[in-house]
Amino acid sequence: MRKVTITERRVYHKVSTIEVEIPKDIPLDRTDEWLWDNEDKWEQDLDEKFNDAELEWGTGVDEVPHMNEPQSDSETRYDVINENYGGHL
């Protein structure tokens, strides 16, 4: 008799979304800069939302709109509401 090991990796992900108010006078192309400079205004809320998020099977890459970085362990993006503008942080 021989022994073998059986190893399996299962991938799950969580998705969380919050809304953040930003000043109206920030140009769209500087939204990411404002969000990074004011991370203290939204990061904790996002982390708390993750606590309640359900695990979903798979990586979430290409399953969640605009989440398309398979090489990353996590991915953060913003979308300006009522504007056709957004990007990765």
Over residues 72-87, the pLDDT tens digits come to 888 999 999 999 999 9
Domain boundaries, the chain: 12-88
Confidence check: pLDDT of 25 > 90? yes
Q: Would you state the structure tokens that stand for residue 40, as one six-digit string? A: 């203290």
pTM over 0.75? The answer is: yes
Binning the chain into helix, strand and coil, the percentages to the nearest 5 are: 25, 15, 60
Which run of H or of E encompasses 32?
helix 31-37
Query: β-pairing, 12-13 with 56-57?
Result: antiparallel
Confidence check: pLDDT of 20 > 90? yes
Torsion of CA 72, 77, 25, 33, to 10 degrees: -10
Beta partners for residue 36, in sequence order = none
